[in-house]
């Protein structure tokens, strides 16, 4: 039933992730990079604009026919909500207000979460730190698919379904791979989100709430921007586990495509990542890179060598928790 073609296991390696050593070398050679580790002064205003845009969209769609509601949820709302999830990603690295204002960053992430429709921000931060600390770590990095996903989603049709259902897998996988206790911020995130959804429903009815949820499901599923999910760490070329994309979709995704740069320096905001490559081009220009997120999705579906199993995995030693 499963594994009719392609890989039958992950790519197991017995070396540390490459980004830690790269970071040390680059900081020693280019100390000016440290100056880029500062808050993004525009992030908070961009997020505010995106949230207000979705609030306006909620008012506009309240009388739309369902087919048009779903159309605009994919074409417009999907882009906005996906962009907001990537803003939440940046905020999780404390780049909205700086590392000295962790509480402000966490509450601002909850604000950015409002148009997503479901509580997401607090749980994302809790698990994302492990993705950086234990990249590809067995049982630690929940960005890596499970063995069940790798075994079953192995044909073009099943891989297409897997891409469409990405929001569900990213939400449920942590509960299976690395369950953690519910935190106070997660409870607050949920209460705030439910209150916002209830307020929108009370003001304008069911359709605006459905629009926000559809925007998240469609925008994070089979959508051009979702190519970054696959582009970032799936092994398109043996020996490389992180890839960058320097195309125009970075303009609406907070430079999420600069992913090698981001893993090299997680505390640098997306707006400054192009400067990292400019300062140290010899560390990036020779690396394989993606030219199109849409092509990434196409290749993932139709290439036998690609699928949920096409990820580098390693056994990691647990570090001291500093959260």
Closest CA to 76 of 209, 198, 214, 207: 214
Q: What is the mean pLDDT of residues 113-125?
A: 97
Q: Chain-centre distance of CA 70, in angstroms?
A: 23
Residue 323: its pLDDT value, please? 39
- List pLDDT tens digits, range 151-203: 999 999 999 999 999 999 999 999 999 999 999 999 999 999 999 999 999 99
CA torsion through residues 144, 148, 151, 153, sign? negative
pLDDT band at 240 (very low <50, low <70, confident <90, very high): very high
- pLDDT value, residue 322: 42
Residue 1 has pLDDT above 70, yes or no: no
pLDDT for the residue 69: 98
SS3 137: strand
Give 137-150 pLDDT, tens digit per residue: 999 999 999 999 99
Give the per-residue pLDDT at 40.
97
- For residue 57, is it left (φ>0), alpha (ψ between -120 and 50) or beta? alpha
Q: pTM above the 0.85 mark?
A: yes
In this model, does residue 78 exceed pLDDT 70?
Answer: yes
Phi/psi of residue 248, nearest 5 degrees: -70, -20
Would residue 115 be called left, alpha or beta, if left means φ above 0 and alpha means ψ between -120 and 50 degrees?
Answer: alpha
3-class SS at 247? Answer: coil
């Amino acid at each position: 039933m499963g594994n009719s073609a392609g890989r039958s296991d992950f790519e197991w390696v017995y070396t540390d992730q490459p980004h830690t050593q790269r970071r040390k070398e680059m900081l020693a050679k280019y100390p000016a990079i440290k100056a880029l580790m500062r808050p993004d002064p525009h992030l908070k205003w961009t997020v505010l604009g995106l949230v207000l845009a979705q609030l306006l969209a909620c008012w506009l769609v309240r009388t739309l026919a369902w087919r048009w509601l779903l159309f605009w949820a994919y074409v417009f709302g999907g882009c906005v909500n996906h962009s907001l999830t990537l803003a939440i990603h940046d905020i999780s690295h404390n780049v909205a207000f700086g590392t000295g204002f962790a509480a402000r960053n966490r509450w601002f992430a909850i604000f950015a979460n409002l148009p997503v429709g479901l509580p997401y921000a607090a749980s994302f931060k809790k698990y994302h730190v492990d993705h950086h600390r234990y990249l590809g770590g067995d049982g630690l990095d929940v960005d890596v698919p499970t063995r069940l996903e790798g075994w079953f989603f192995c044909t073009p049709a099943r891989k297409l379904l897997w891409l469409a259902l990405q929001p569900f897998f990213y939400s449920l996988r942590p509960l299976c791979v690395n369950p953690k206790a519910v935190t106070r911020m997660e409870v607050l995130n949920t209460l705030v989100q439910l209150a916002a959804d209830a307020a929108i429903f009370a003001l304008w009815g069911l359709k605006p709430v459905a629009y926000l949820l559809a925007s998240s499901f469609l925008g994070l599923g089979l959508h051009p921007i979702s190519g970054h999910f696959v582009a970032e760490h799936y092994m398109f070329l043996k020996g490389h586990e992180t890839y960058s994309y320097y195309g125009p979709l970075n303009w609406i995704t907070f430079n999420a495509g600069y992913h090698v740069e981001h893993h090299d320096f997680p505390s640098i905001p997306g707006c400054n990542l192009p400067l990292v490559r400019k300062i140290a081009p010899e560390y990036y220009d020779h690396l394989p890179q993606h030219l199109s997120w849409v092509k990434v999705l196409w290749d993932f579906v139709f290439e036998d060598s690609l699928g949920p199993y096409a990820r580098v995995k390693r056994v990691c030693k647990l570090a001291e928790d500093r959260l």
